[in-house]
Amino acid sequence: MIVIATHNRDKEKELRAVLRDFPLEVKSLDHFPEIGDIEETGLTLMENAKIKAETVQKITQLPSLGDDTGLEVDALNGAPGVYSSRFAGEDVTYEKNVKKLLYKLVSVPIEKRTARFRTVIYYTDGKRELYSEGEIKGIITEKQIGKNGFGYDPVFYIPEVKKTMAELSPEEKNKLSHRGQAMRKLRKLLLDIIP
Ligand code: IMP
């Protein structure tokens, strides 16, 4: 059994999709109501992914996976980065974060709106640790386009496919995305260590 250490259902869905035919049962935090919000006190994606995985592993005594993701915008010197979920304040909606991002970039021309999503996934079973990373490059649009996905997806344009992340189906997103890449790498590493 393995626990996905997130309360974010959108992220959980994407991680689960990659683990669909994984030989271990995958549990969400719904099964562990005693685990409340895990504070992201790290200064890097790696630190936060590790904090989430270790906290859940200690409480459940089960192997756990922590995911931390950031949107790094070049014109904002890498912000919101590790603070992506709290860009417009604590406990805000995705919409508020997106609006703040568009506002901050209002005078930035399209060729300078380059950005990337990065995900780090960290695994621990209390004895062994594994981690992986995924990254996708894109451009922040001037308005929201597309209805799929979540978070900053409607403003993240991928030149390769000429669509925003929110115009992709869940399968297409997972094929290309930071999280899909990181989870597929970690899946491979896990298959090497499970009996
Ligand atoms: P965290 O990894 O839970 O700290 O997530 C950081 C924030 O980044 C989330 O609250 C979302 O706003 C955003 N985010 C994370 N993953 C994605 C994604 O795949 N697409 C768009 N936004 C995302």
Q: Name which of 122, 121, 126, 73 is nearest 100 in CA terms.
A: 73
Q: Name which of 176, 42, 195, 177 is nearest 122 in CA terms.
A: 42
- pLDDT tens for each residue of the chain, 195 residues long: 999 999 999 999 999 999 998 999 999 998 999 998 898 899 999 999 999 999 999 999 999 999 999 999 999 999 999 999 999 999 899 999 999 999 999 999 999 999 999 999 999 999 999 999 999 999 999 999 999 999 999 999 999 999 999 999 999 999 999 999 999 999 999 999 887
Q: Which atom of ligand 1 is nearest to the CA of 8?
A: 3
SS3 157: strand
Q: For the chain, which domains are there?
A: 2-193 (3.90.950.10)
Q: 144 vs 20, 78, 79, 148, CA distance in Å?
A: 31, 21, 19, 11
Q: Which of 4, 7, 99, 150, when mutated, tests ligand 1's pocket best, judged by the most ligand atoms within 8 Å of its CB?
A: 150
Task: Return the amino acid letter for 29.
Answer: L
CA of 69 to the centre of ligand 1 (A): 5
| Binding site membership of 144 for ligand 1 (Cβ less than 6 Å) | no
